Amino acid sequence: MTKKIFLTLLLALPSAAPAYDRGELAEFNDQYRNGQYEEALDGYKLIIEKEPANQWAWYNAGNALFRLNRLGPAVFSYARAFKLDPRSQDIRANLDFAMRQTGQSLVPEGYPAALHFLYYIASEDELKALAILLFWFACLAGAACFLLDGGRAGEYAGRVSLAAAGLLLFTLLWVAARQASPYTSAGVVTKAGGTRMLSGPGEKFKTYASAPEGRLVKILDTGDEAYYEIGLQKEGIKGWALKADIEKL
């Protein structure tokens, strides 16, 4: 019974791709429908090169990669789509499904799903744009309050300025909290079979752990030419891995 449910989910997972037939995506989605996953993937990559912020190109690339059994690159593509559009239920569902194949999950264990959705309801770029907007709104309302000093309109402008400043502070705290997100300063192990974690940046150092393909890792140090220092938060360990084995989000 469990195998049947898994097979049903596996077949259902990539079916969402053709739902986003927008412009050039339509042509490549036709290839996807016909089982031409490599050709469709090449097309999605072309769109990504031209439009790096196109979440549906990343999402559909993830679907094609999953069909091609390239789990690590699929998780990476879904994660990029999630960073661009964290509100999309399709992106969230497919990222979570792919992550579960490597013992991970989008929503941490014991964390309320609704709270997790609210925490990621806006992308980091949207939060930064909102902070800038609130800053200028608070400044303009404050200036209006100063110019209209003594009048009813001035009092109203002062209240608006304080409200905007309060919202700005809340937004800045939200942005700061998001810096601890698993998707900030992170990468995905994309090498088939996973990557070795060394005690230092170079082959002369010992291998003492490994990170499986598709694993989301924290990138702690990028200073070395060939290696990242990475951390596995769940296990509480860190080590050095080849940059070629990891795609940075």
Helix (H) or strand (E) holding 227: strand 227-232
Asked if residues 240 and 200 have their Cβ atoms less than 8 Å apart, the reply is yes
φ, ψ dihedrals at 44, nearest 5°: -60, -35
- The tokens describing 18, both together, are 């053709």
Please work out, in degrees rounded to the nearest 5, the angle formed at the alpha carbon of residue 218 by the alpha carbons of 215 and 219: 115
Share of the chain above pLDDT 70, in %: 90
Could you read off the pLDDT of 45-92 as tens digits, one per residue? Answer: 999 999 999 999 999 999 999 999 999 999 999 999 999 999 999 999
Share of the chain above pLDDT 90, in %: 57
φ, ψ dihedrals at 221, nearest 5°: -150, 130
Could you read off the pLDDT of 13-53 as tens digits, one per residue? Answer: 554 444 454 567 788 888 899 899 999 999 999 999 999 99
Q: What pLDDT, on the 0 to 100 scale, is given for residue 161?
A: 87
pLDDT exceeds 80 at position 8: no
Judge: domain 2-106, CATH 1.25.40.10. Answer: yes
Please provide the CATH number assigned to the domain covering 186-248. 2.30.30.40
